[in-house]
């Protein structure tokens, strides 16, 4: 590796960290109901540690999508990093909001994380963030796409995650919301694992090279729905 390659890597790593840190600040601003340092250091809050750790992991995956593949020049790479990196920050925070309002809609997630320190809730948010990070990674890395295709495949991926959550709740012999609210960590881990698995499948489907909406959306939806259909089968075999 020559000096130019080392300097390029150093610049991109620095830029990556700047985008990542901005993503951290934005998440802090959106969750002003708690002080992250106080909750983690003073109160040893495991639920929030899981949720925020999942967000950071998802952020690394999502921002990393803008740097995946061969470089095309330091200037173009930096432009892609900042455009798609900031887009990733926005989409990942929207994914957390969707988890709060639609997937875990029967209770207030912030109360479970802060007041009850419920790890079951924390691990579900972790699962959503990691799954969404995989989806964003796939949506950004495919050749032939742009910012609109990335947003479109993220949106379809979120619909698939919501559908997966509904299917999962239907095939389990208990209400996932009730069990998580009762601090059932095992139920939360199982649910989060299913969401991550679906996110991996959707992310792989989104990483295909983009040709046109007419060709790619049906193929994307077909792969995602196949993974969704396998969820009850895998659950049955596991049981």
Instruction: Determine the pLDDT at residue 1.
Output: 56
Q: How far apart are CA 74 and CA 85, in angstroms?
A: 15
Instruction: Determine the pLDDT at residue 236.
Output: 83
Tokens of 6: 């080392």
Find the mean pLDDT for residues 90-118: 93
Closest C-alpha among 32, 193, 182 to residue 110: 32
Q: Which residues of 18-27 are buried (b: 16+ CB within 10 A; e: fewer)?
A: ebbeebbeeb
Q: Is the pLDDT of residue 2 over 80?
A: no
Q: Which of 4-18, 62-76, 162-176, 217-231 has the lowest mean pLDDT?
A: 62-76
Query: Residue 195 contacts by C-beta under 8 Å, 6 or more apart in sequence?
Result: 124, 127, 128, 131, 161, 164, 165, 168
Query: Residue 1 contacts by C-beta under 8 Å, 6 or more apart in sequence?
Result: none
Q: How far apart are CA 194 and CA 187, in angstroms?
A: 11
Number of helical (H) and strand (E) elements in the chain, helices listed first: 10, 0
Q: How far apart are CA 10 and CA 14, in angstroms?
A: 6
At 225, the pLDDT band (50, 70, 90 cuts) reads: confident
**What digits encode the pLDDT tens for the residues 34-86?**
999 999 999 999 999 999 999 999 999 999 888 876 566 788 888 888 999 99
* % the chain with pLDDT above 90: 57
């Amino acid at each position: 590796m020559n000096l130019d390659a080392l300097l390029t890597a150093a610049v991109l790593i620095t830029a990556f960290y700047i985008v990542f840190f901005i993503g951290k600040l934005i998440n802090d601003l959106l969750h002003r109901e708690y002080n992250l340092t106080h909750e983690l250091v003073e109160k040893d809050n495991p639920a929030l540690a899981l949720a925020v750790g999942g967000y950071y992991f998802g952020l690394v995956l999502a921002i990393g999508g803008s740097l995946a593949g061969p470089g095309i020049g330091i200037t173009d790479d930096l432009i892609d990093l900042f455009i798609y990196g900031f887009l990733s920050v926005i989409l990942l925070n929207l994914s957390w909001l969707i988890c709060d309002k639609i997937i875990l809609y029967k209770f207030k997630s912030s109360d479970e994380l802060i007041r009850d320190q419920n790890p079951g809730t924390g691990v579900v948010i972790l699962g959503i963030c990691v799954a969404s990070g995989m989806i964003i990674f796939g949506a950004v890395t495919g050749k032939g796409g742009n910012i609109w295709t990335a947003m479109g495949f993220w949106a379809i991926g979120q619909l698939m995650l919501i559908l997966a959550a509904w299917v999962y709740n239907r095939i389990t012999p208990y209400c996932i919301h009730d069990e998580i609210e009762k601090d059932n960590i095992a139920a939360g881990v199982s649910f989060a694992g299913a969401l991550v698995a679906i996110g991996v499948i959707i992310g792989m489907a989104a990483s295909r090279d983009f040709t046109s909406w007419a060709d790619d959306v049906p193929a994307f939806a077909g792969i995602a729905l196949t993974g969704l259909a396998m969820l009850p089968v895998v659950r049955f075999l596991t049981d």
